[in-house]
Amino acid sequence: MNQKREIPEQERINEILWRLREAYPDAQCALRHSNPLELLVATMLSAQCTDERVNQVTEKLFQKYRTAEDYAMANPEELEQDIRPTGYYRSKARRLQEAARVLVERYNGRVPDTMEELLELPGVARKTANMVLGVAFNRAEGIVVDTHVKRVAQRLGLTKEQDPLKIEQDLMAIVPREQWIDFSHQMIWHGRRICKARSPDCPSCPLNDLCPSAEM
Q: Which residues are catalytic?
A: 127, 146
The values of phi and psi at residue 215, to 5°, are -95, 115
Please, what is the end-to-end C-alpha distance for the chain in angstroms? 8
Chain centroid to CA 99: how far?
19
Helix axis angle for 89-107 and 36-45, nearest 10°, is 150
User: In 3D, which of 180, 167, 187, 184 has the Cα closest to residue 141?
Assistant: 180
Separation of alpha carbons 75 and 73, rounded Å: 7
Residue-wise burial string across 104-138, b where 16 or more C-beta atoms lie within 10 A, e elsewhere: beeeebebbbebebbeebebbebbbbbbbbbbbbe
